[in-house]
Amino acid sequence: MTDAEARWRLAFQASGDGVWDWDIRTDRVVFSDGLMRMLGYEAGEPWDSLRDWSDRVHPDDLPVAMAAVQAHLDGGTPTYVNEHRLKCADGRWKWILDRGVVTTRDAEGRPLRMIGSHTDISAIREARDVVERERKLLFTVLEHAPLGIGVTPLDGDEAIYVNGRFDEICGIPRGSITSLAQSFAVVHADPAEREAAERRIRSDIEANPLAPHRWADMPFTMANGERRWVTTQRIPLPEHGLVLWTLENVTAEHAAAETLRRQAHEVSERNRELLQFNRAAIDRELRMIELKQEVNHLLARLGEPPRYDVTE
C-alpha cells in the first residue's frame, strides 16, 4: 500500500462506519469488520467482490449507484459519492452514504484500486423523509386553501410563493405572479384605482410595518373590465423575514350586501310613502268629521235633528 493509499484509508476509517478496499483488476473487495457489523453480518462472511455489494443494493437504487461508480472510474468525477439502500442480514434496508476514490491508476489512466467507506445515514434519511412529507402536506393544504395566499420578503415585494387560489382571484395564469407590484398592475387596470389602493395600503404599512393589517372590500377592475371586490390581509413574520398575504374574493358577499342595502332603502321608502298616505287619510277623516259637525250645527239652528252621528 502506498503512502497515498494509506492516507485515504485512514481518512475513510475516520469518517465512516466501515471501510472497503477494491482491487479493480481482480474484482476483489475487502470489507472491514465494522462495515459487516453495521449491516448485521458476521465478520469473515464471504463478502469479497463487487457483486457481493451490488446484489444487496436496493433494485431502485442500483442503476444510479453503478452509474456513479462508473463515472468516477472514467475520471468524470473527483470522488465517488452515492446514497443508496443496502439490505441487512435480517432483511431490513439501511440507507448508506457510500464514498470512495480511485487511489491508483496505471500509466494509461486505467483505475487499479479504489478505497471508500460506508456511513449509516438511515436516521438522517428518515428525518429528511419526514420533512419532505410535511412539506408536501403543507403545500397540498396551501394549494387547496379557499383563500389566496402569497409570501414575500419582509423588505421587498418579490413573490416567494403564491398559491393557485391567489392567481385565480387575480384572474391570471398559474405561476405568472412575480411580485406584488405586478399583481397590482393586473388587478387594478384603472391607474387611478391602482394609485388609490397602493396609497391606502402603503400608508397603513408605513405607519406600523410590523403590525398585521386588513383591508376590507377593496375594489379592483380587471383588464377585461370585470369588477371584483377583495379583502386583503398582511401578516408580518419578522422572525422569518417574511410577510404572509391573504386574498379573499368577497365579490358575492359585496353584491349580497348591496342587494340588502338596496332592499332596505326600498322598504324605508315604502314605509315613508305609507306613512304619508296614512297621515293624508287621517287628515281626510278628521276633515269629514268636522264637516259633519258643521252640518249638524246648521240643522240644530234650523230646529232640525242632527243628520250625522259624530260621537265616536
Contact, 99 vs 16, CB < 8 A? yes
pLDDT at 138: 92
| Joined grid coordinates for residue 263 | 332592499
Overall average pLDDT of the 265-285 stretch: 76
Greater model confidence, 288 or 157: 157
Prediction pTM value: 0.59
Taking CA atoms, 59 is separated from 85, 121, 193, in Å, by 9, 18, 61
Greater model confidence, 234 or 257: 234
Cα–Cα distance for residue pair 133/136, rounded to 1 Å? 5
pLDDT at 112: 95
pLDDT at 178: 85
The overall average pLDDT reported for the chain is 86
pLDDT at 281: 73
Cα–Cα distance for residue pair 302/210, rounded to 1 Å? 93
Cα–Cα distance for residue pair 254/217, rounded to 1 Å? 7
pLDDT at 144: 92
Taking CA atoms, 25 is separated from 21, 105, 106, 110, in Å, by 12, 11, 11, 10
Q: Grade residue 15 by pLDDT with cuts at 50, 70 and 90.
A: low
Cα distance from N-terminal residue to C-terminal residue, the chain: 132
Residue 86's φ and ψ, nearest 5 degrees, are: -115, 140
Q: How far is CA 22 from the centre of its chain?
A: 48
Q: Grade residue 167 by pLDDT with cuts at 50, 70 and 90.
A: confident
137-162 pLDDT per residue, tens? 999 999 999 999 999 999 888 999 99
Domains of the chain: 3-127 (3.30.450.20), 146-249 (3.30.450.20), 253-312 (no CATH)
72-96 pLDDT per residue, tens? 999 999 999 999 999 999 999 999 9
CA angle 185, 189, 190 (to 5 degrees): 120
- Is the pLDDT confidence value at 8 over 50? no
Indicate the range of 40-49, 51-60, 104-113, 227-236 predicted with least confidence: 40-49
Sorted by sequence, the CB contacts under 8 Å of residue 169 that are 6+ apart come out as 148, 228, 230, 247, 248, 249
Greater model confidence, 7 or 239: 239
- Annotate 235-262 with b (16+ C-beta within 10 A) or e (fewer): ebeeeeeebbbbbbbbbeebeeeeeeee
Which of the given ranges, 76-90, 196-210, 222-236, 255-269, has the highest pLDDT on average?
76-90
pLDDT at 274: 75
CA angle 135, 136, 140 (to 5 degrees): 120
126-137 pLDDT per residue, tens? 999 999 999 999
Which of left, alpha, beta for 245 (phi over 0: left; psi -120 to 50: alpha)? beta
- Is the pLDDT confidence value at 14 over 60? no
Greater model confidence, 296 or 235: 235
Percent of the chain with pLDDT over 70: 93
